[in-house]
Structures are given as structure tokens and as C-alpha cells.
């Protein structure tokens, strides 16, 4: 069964397994003790720290091991914010940071968080970051800082959901010129190479590169003001209290060195497979949007969103077909809220699939995935009573129409769904401004499906108003309009929920 979710957790690297087993025999003692077993454990810890620091690009005494990457990010934000409290309480972060950074910023005592927006590829503009460092014109959360300075900036090296690589080196130069330390979340990129630029703090997690879970690392470069916010502890420079999981740390450092040695060749190989997925999915699956930057991206990751599809149902269908993938979107029954990353990008959130290939993925595995995907999507759409899909974006005039290659059983299911009465989808009311679609109480992707079903019932230039209380509709209706060449007029408050106005353009 192909596993395509390396961005969540990469399979344990063979070197990590070997190092872990060896360290269980040699590294079980307390490395703080002076007897023989303690000295042996200390040698292993020091060697692991040296190897990890070399991969990160920092001094060994600047790096500590933590119980997870999330813990490293939390400690980095709280420690740096506290260490520079006299400078100011403003924390500048990109709008697509990992939730661990955003939650830590929210929890920082008295902090004012400024979020820097991104473009539709998920990439920040350095000029916008510079403006935010100066406290100019960006969305804020938390108490006002009273005109104080910026305590900390945070920018991921590459996005966890869509793989877009950020201009870290350029932003780091801006931060240095402004006298602001920069925290880099390097969890997704560290396996592929060091993070360039004059960053001040860096965090990462071993399970992202094929090390064992439960090991993170935090680097704080010399000269960075840092005040740990946990009770004092003698271990790990006071920045990560508690007894270290030394066997896991040894395995994490060994696997990081191993994946780095393989990175160039594996990146070139996986990038070809990702390019194949990026090109094939819009051709094979109607009404799909590939998101993220097409060039400035991680070599192993691709994300796409499908219209008229529930993300949870799609992932379940792919799992039944034998493929383990994940979704960057939270438009599922568990949270009922769209992904903050996709929301910041302004792209479609429904039916979101993230494919992240682990080392060793074969072209045959990718081909099998591309063979299975169209049928799974079509089945989910048929179950939801979605309108007949049209040719997806990226299909040229000479390309094969995906509808012509759908399996017979899928076409039959779609025909049966079209004839059946869909609960809760009565004929829309005719309002003074056009058609009124009442989607109150219905969740993603139903509001968009109901909009798509009636858009042809109004004349060109006519309006359709969709009433919805689903948070995802605020993102998905404008995204649908862009994909379907319709005009999104805007939104207005309604007695219940929000009214979204769409004008038919063709």
C-alpha cells in the first residue's frame, strides 16, 4: 500500500533503526553522571549534537534537543518574546505558519501578533514583512503593544500544507537590519538542506526526516536574547528540561546525516514524480486546482483541491483504494473549519489532498495513484449529488475530455444521483435580485454544489444569492467563481449566516 504522507511523518530511515537499536544498549544511562556508563552516554549525546548542529549550520553549543518539534517552537516563541520584552511585544509571523507557532504567539503574555499575508502560491512578499516589522498596516491580534518595537519574527522555511518555499534569507536580512531575531520553522525542509540566511532561532522535528518520533531540536544562535519560560533545569542549557531520550536522539542525528547524504539525488528523482502529478491531475480530474508554487517548492510535495468533494470522504475513498494521503484542509466533520493556510492563500479548500512522497517512492506507485484518483473523486461527487463536472483547469483544446474516460459504473452512479431527489435541495426561491439558495445548516461542500446547480437558471448578468452559515463558504464560493469564470460580487450580513452574491458571466 503506497504511503504518500511523508510530510506528516516519514517512514523510519534504516540508519535510524540501526542507530536506535545500538543506542539502546550503549546509551541508557544518565549522561550527566561521571561513572563509566554515564560517560559513555555523554559521548553519544555530544556526538549526536555535533552531527545535528553540522546539518543545521550552527555551533553545537547553540543546539538543544527537545521532546518534539512543537515543543521546540513553543519554547522558541516564548523564550525569545520574554528575552526581548523590553524592546516590544509585537510578534510578526506569516499567515501560513504552522499552528504551533500561531498558538504560541497567542499564548505569549501581553503579545500583539501581526500576521503577514501571502499570495495565492502561499509565499510572503519581503516588502510586506518589512512593513510588518515596522508596525505598518498588517492584521493584528492580542492587546496593542503601545507603539513598542518588534520582539520576534517567525517565517517557516517551507509550508507544511502546500510545500511553497519562503524567501527566508531575504527576510532574515530585513530582520537583521531592523534588529529583530528571526525564528525559522524548518521541519519540512531540513532533510533537503540547511536553511540559508542570518536566522536567529530554528526548530525542527526528527519524524519529518525519517528519525524516530519524540525528538525535536532548537537552535538559538549566540547573541540572541532568550529567557526560558519553564522552571530552571540543568539539562540542555535550561532550554529543554527533563531526562533526554538518548537512544532516540542518537537515531535522529544519525538519520539526519544519512538523508542529507541522499538528498540531492532523491530530490531530483522525486521532483520528476511530483511534476508528473502536478501535470496529470488537472487533466484527469475535472474541476481541480493545484495549489502552491509551481517552482519554489519542496521536491516531494504536491497539493490539489477538488470542487464538489468532501475532504474526509475523498481521503477515505483513497485509503480504500490503497493510498495513504492527507489533507491540508480541515473541512471535515472533525472541525468544520477550513485550513488557515488555504484561507490565507485565497484558494479552494474543499476536497483538498496533500501528496508527499517518501524516499524510495517508485514511478509505478505514482502511476497507480493517478489511475485510481479519477474514479474515487467521481464516486464521492456522485454520492453528494454534485453537478456533472466539466473539463478541469489545465486541459487544453487538444486534450482528452476526462468525462470520456470515466468508468461506466461511475457514469451510472452520477446518472442515478442526478435522477434522485437530494435532501434539502429544493428549488431555489426567486428573489428580487435573482435566485436565492438557502444553504443554512449545510456544510462544505454542499453550499458550492447548490450554487453550481442553479447558476445556469439565471440569465447572463443575473445574480444568485447563497445563504450559508458554514465558515468554509467564505473561502470556497469566491474560489469557485474564479475557477468557473463567474463574478463574485461580495458578501453581506443576513438574518442568519452570510449572504454571498454571485453574478453569472457565461
> Which residues are marked as active site?
331
User: How far apart (Å, rounded) are the C-alpha atoms in residues 207 and 217?
Assistant: 11
CA distances from 493 to 139, 209, 211, 467 (A): 21, 46, 50, 10
CA distances from 48 to 25, 246, 254, 458 (A): 16, 9, 7, 67
Which residues, 6 or more positions from 280, have their beta carbon under 8 angstroms from its beta carbon?
Answer: 370
Give the long-range contacts of residues 258-261, CB within 8 A, separation 24 or more: 258/13, 258/15, 258/16, 258/210, 259/13, 259/191, 259/209, 259/210, 259/359, 260/55, 260/191, 260/193
Q: Show the beta-strand stretches assigned E in 122-169.
A: 140-141, 150-154
Cα 436 to chain centroid, rounded: 35
Which residues, 6 or more positions from 232, have their beta carbon under 8 angstroms from its beta carbon?
Answer: 238
Phi, psi of 290 (to 5 degrees): -80, 125
The answer to whether residues 335 and 312 touch, using CB atoms and an 8 Å cutoff, is no
Element (H, E) at 431: strand 429-431
Q: Which residue has the cell 474543499?
A: 350
The answer to whether residues 75 and 241 touch, using CB atoms and an 8 Å cutoff, is no
Element (H, E) at 302: strand 301-306
The answer to whether residues 290 and 302 touch, using CB atoms and an 8 Å cutoff, is yes
Which residues, 6 or more positions from 121, have their beta carbon under 8 angstroms from its beta carbon?
Answer: 162, 164, 291, 292, 293, 294, 296, 345
The answer to whether residues 226 and 83 touch, using CB atoms and an 8 Å cutoff, is yes
The answer to whether residues 329 and 342 touch, using CB atoms and an 8 Å cutoff, is yes
Grid coordinates belonging to 463: 445574480
Facing residues of 498 across strands?
468, 493
Q: Using N-to-C axis directions, what is the helix angle for 311-320 and 363-384, rounded to 10°?
A: 130
Which residues, 6 or more positions from 482, have their beta carbon under 8 angstroms from its beta carbon?
Answer: 488
Amino acid at each position: 500500500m503506497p504511503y504518500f504522507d511523508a510530510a506528516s511523518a516519514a517512514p523510519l530511515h534504516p540508519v535510524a533503526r540501526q542507530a536506535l537499536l545500538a543506542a539502546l544498549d550503549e546509551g541508557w544511562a544518565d549522561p550527566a553522571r561521571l561513572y563509566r556508563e554515564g560517560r559513555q552516554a555523554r559521548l553519544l549525546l555530544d556526538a549526536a549534537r555535533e552531527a545535528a548542529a553540522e546539518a543545521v549550520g550552527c555551533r553545537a553549543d547553540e543546539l538543544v534537543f527537545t521532546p518534539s518539534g512543537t515543543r521546540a517552537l513553543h519554547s522558541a516563541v516564548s523564550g525569545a518574546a520574554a528575552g526581548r520584552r523590553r524592546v516590544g511585544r509585537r510578534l510578526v509571523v506569516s499567515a501560513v505558519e504552522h499552528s504551533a507557532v500561531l498558538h504560541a504567539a497567542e499564548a505569549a503574555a501581553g503579545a500583539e501578533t501581526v500576521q503577514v499575508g501571502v499570495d495565492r502560491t502561499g509565499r510572503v512578499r519581503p516588502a510586506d514583512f518589512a512593513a510588518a516589522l515596522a508596525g505598518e498596516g498588517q492584521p493584528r491580534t492580542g492587546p496593542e503593544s503601545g507603539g513598542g518595537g518588534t520582539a520576534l519574527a517567525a517565517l517557516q522555511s517551507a509550508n507544511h500544507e502546500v510545500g511553497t518555499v519562503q524567501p527566508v534569507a531575504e527576510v532574515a536580512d530585513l530582520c537583521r537590519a531592523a534588529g529583530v531575531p528571526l525564528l525559522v520553522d524548518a521541519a519540512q525542509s531540513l532533510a533537503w538542506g540547511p536553511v540559508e540566511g542570518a536566522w536567529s532561532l530554528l526548530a525542527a522535528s526528527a519524524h519529518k526526516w525519517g528519525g524516530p518520533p519524540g525528538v525535536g531540536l532548537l537552535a538559538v544562535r549566540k547573541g540572541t536574547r532568550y529567557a526560558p519560560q519553564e522552571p530552571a533545569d540543568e539539562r540542555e542549557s535550561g532550554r529543554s528540561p527533563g531526562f533526554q531520550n538518548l537512544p532516540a536522539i542518537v537515531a535522529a542525528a544519525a538519520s539526519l546525516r544519512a538523508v542529507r547524504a541522499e538528498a540531492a539525488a532523491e530530490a531530483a528523482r522525486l521532483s520528476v514524480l511530483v511534476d508528473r502529478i502536478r501535470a496529470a491531475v488537472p487533466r484527469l480530474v475535472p474541476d481541480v486546482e493545484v495549489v502552491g508554487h509551481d517552482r519554489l517548492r519542496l521536491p516531494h510535495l504536491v497539493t490539489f483541491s477538488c470542487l464538489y468533494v468532501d475532504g474526509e470522504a475523498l481521503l477515505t475513498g483513497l485509503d480504500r483504494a490503497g493510498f495513504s494521503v492527507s489533507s491540508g484542509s480541515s473541512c471535515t466533520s472533525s472541525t468544520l473549519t477550513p485550513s488557515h493556510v488555504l484561507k490565507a492563500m485565497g484558494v479552494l479548500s474543499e476536497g483538498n489532498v496533500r501528496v508527499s512522497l517518501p524516499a524510495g517512492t517508485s514511478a509505478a506507485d505514482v502511476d497507480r495513484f493517478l489511475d485510481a484518483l479519477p474514479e474515487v473523486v467521481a464516486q464521492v461527487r456522485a454520492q453528494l449529488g454534485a453537478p456533472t463536472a466539466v473539463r478541469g483547469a489545465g486541459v487544453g483544446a487538444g486534450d482528452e475530455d476526462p468525462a470520456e474516460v470515466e468508468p461506466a459504473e461511475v457514469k451510472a452512479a452520477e446518472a442515478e444521483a442526478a435522477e434522485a431527489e437530494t435532501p434539502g435541495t429544493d428549488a431555489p426561491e426567486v428573489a428580487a435580485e435573482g435566485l436565492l439558495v438557502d444553504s443554512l445548516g449545510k456544510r462544505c461542500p454542499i453550499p458550492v454544489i447548490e450554487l453550481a446547480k442553479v447558476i445556469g437558471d439565471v440569465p447572463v448578468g443575473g445574480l444568485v444569492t447563497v445563504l450559508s452559515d458554514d465558515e468554509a463558504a467564505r473561502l470556497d464560493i469566491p474560489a469557485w467563481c474564479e475557477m468557473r469564470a463567474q463574478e463574485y460580487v461580495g458578501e453581506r450580513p443576513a438574518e442568519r449566516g452570510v449572504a454571498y452574491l454571485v453574478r453569472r458571466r457565461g
